Amino acid sequence: MSALVCILHQGNVVFINQAGVKVLGLGSQLDALGTAFVEFVETDYRFLVEAGWELLAEEEFLPLKLMRRDGTMFEAEIRVRLIPGPEESFLLEARDISKFVRSAEALREREERLQGVLASVAEGIITVDERGVIESSNPAAERMFGHGKGKLVGQHIGQLMGAERREQHQELFNQYLAGSAKLMGRSVESLGFRADGGSFPLEISVSELRHGKGRLFTGILRDISERKENEERIKRLAHHDTLTGLPNRNLLNDRISHALARVRRHGGRMAVLYVDLDKFKPINDTLGHEAGDAVLREVAQRLDHCVRSSDTVSRVGGDEFVVVVEEIGRPGEAAQVARKILEALGTPIAYENHACQVGASIGIAVFPDDGNTMEEVSKAADVAMYRVKHSGRNGYCFYSDSMPVEDLDLAEVPAGG
């Protein structure tokens, strides 16, 4: 009999040859198009396909049991190859090898081959009975949870999930057995616990196997630590300044919005301080951008030490920072923060053999005194900051005041040490 040849996209058949129609006992090619190929795989072998076609593509040939449309089984040998292109598709070839595997030797070789595949895949694969007890595990699962060879067998699956989640997993499992919960065909994220007590984020995909009169469950387990770290890194990059680690404008706007909502609910005031560094440009021009970056990182740390944990320090531009001071009883509390900042920046910042001196022009706006919205308050703080800039720098000014409070004069350029 000629070989079955088909093309799979996202696991579904998008092309099948006439020989394949005959091999699978179909009426025509249309009977296969759009069908998930896993439906032609005997139930006990489906976990191999569910582990991913890309894994099977790494094998030269793989023995498998396939199922014809009328439900009869036959031994097959398949080969899977990735089709290059922008969309992930696979070319699958299969031939009926039933007559070649009827002998005990051929059956033994098939089992050894399957065990070899299980041992080589990166995903952990375990089988669990209806009580939740692990009946088998591959080496990847044992490595993932830090157990020796064969040590997972006999343990309850809940032992791998930690005490806090054990009851939750057991309840979900019981609901599935009772027919009231959907568990198959979807991935669930959880927390795995290693033998040494360490934990890691885990993704679990479960499929059901009929085993005589009972049921077995195959779990495909993936350690998703790297994926979670990448997601967290991307999230942080979207909301934090890469140089200083402070919240960026996106996160600042979100923090101000939430702070305004709290003040509107509970009353009181909040302040926005627009901090623009003085005499920063000469440092960049004289010592270079690396010195400037070092100064900005140090300024960020000093600003952060001037506020409470409930307040926010954000970098919104090259040498521009915004400080949000929440829950102030009177405007004088915002002035106290401004004075702290000026005092903190009064000490020169050491860079290599230089003492870099910066100061700050600080504009202060208070909600609800100086505006009813985030935009109004932020603009008022910006206007107040420019008043300081134009009247001598290194001081602070409230939007409601006409004259800024000035601090000591700055040195004109960074001094060598």
The conformation of residue 206, written as its DSSP 8-state character, comes to E
Residue 268: how many CB atoms within 10 A of its CB? 15
Question: Which residue type occupies 78?
Answer: I
Q: Which of 73, 75, 55, 46 is nearest to 63 (CA)?
A: 75
Q: How far apart are CA 183 and CA 235, in angstroms?
A: 30
SS3 at position 190: strand
Q: C-alpha angle with apex 184: 214 to 20, nearest 5 degrees? A: 90
Strands (E), 185-319: 187-193, 199-211, 214-223, 269-278, 312-315
Q: How far apart are CA 391 and CA 255, in angstroms?
A: 31
Residues 6+ apart with CB under 8 A from 57: 80, 81, 82, 90
Q: How far apart are CA 212 and CA 196, in angstroms?
A: 37
Q: Would you call 319 a catalytic residue per the annotation? A: yes
Q: How is residue 340 written in tokens? A: 């702290």
Question: Which residue type occupies 207?
Answer: S
Asked, as a colleague might, if the bond just before 368 is cis with ω within 30 of 0, I would say yes
Strands (E), 51-133: 62-67, 73-83, 89-96, 124-128
SS3 at position 357: coil
SS3 at position 413: coil
Catalytic entry in 241, 319, 370, 407: 319
Residues 6+ apart with CB under 8 A from 209: 43, 44, 47, 127, 215, 216, 217, 218
Which DSSP helix (H) or strand (E) runs through 22?
helix 18-23
Q: Which residues are catalytic?
A: 319
